[in-house]
Amino acid sequence: MFKLLVDVHRMRIEDEYKFDGDVDEDTILGGGTPATALGVFREFLEAMTRLGTARPVDKKILPEWWNAEKLNECVKFARDGGNTMSEDNWSRIALLVEKHDVQEHYKDMTMPMQLRMFSYEVDGALIMGQSGSQMRADMIDVERGNAHAMVINMA
């Protein structure tokens, strides 16, 4: 779960820069330090936690076990890259990722859009202020076998 949250956040930062021309100066992409980038990530998790408490149980985006302690563990995970013994340290918040990096890492062409849809659940908007409702419905249809996946190149 922690890895997913780090990747959702990093994909969002990349998308905001690439499509909106907007970059938070405290992120690595904006020239910030790992410490300031970690602060931005913490703010993202805190916002998600606040949002989660306001939703009904069937609409929650975070698991029932999520609490302040898990939030702190997730921040530590993002700081250290998860398993500090791994060679690539994929989950370090200081590592910049682009769409193709996510596709390669997960070996799934649709993973960037899945991360975007998760981000949509957090703040209600996709890049360029678009609603993600239709895209989410389409992806659910694909997962249920009711439609074929179509990869759209948003690069």
Average pLDDT estimate for 103-122:
86
pLDDT tens track for 138-155: 656 666 677 655 544 444
- Please give the mean pLDDT across all residues of the chain: 80
pLDDT tens track for 55-94: 666 667 788 888 999 999 999 999 988 665 555 678 899 8
Classify residue 94 by burial, with Cβ atoms within 10 Å: 0-12, 13-18, 19+.
middle
In the predicted structure, residue 54 carries a pLDDT above the cut 50: yes
The span from the CA of 139 to the CA of 77, in Å, is 29
> Which positions ≥6 away from 62 have C-beta within 8 Å?
48, 49, 52
- pTM equals 0.77
Average pLDDT estimate for 24-47:
93
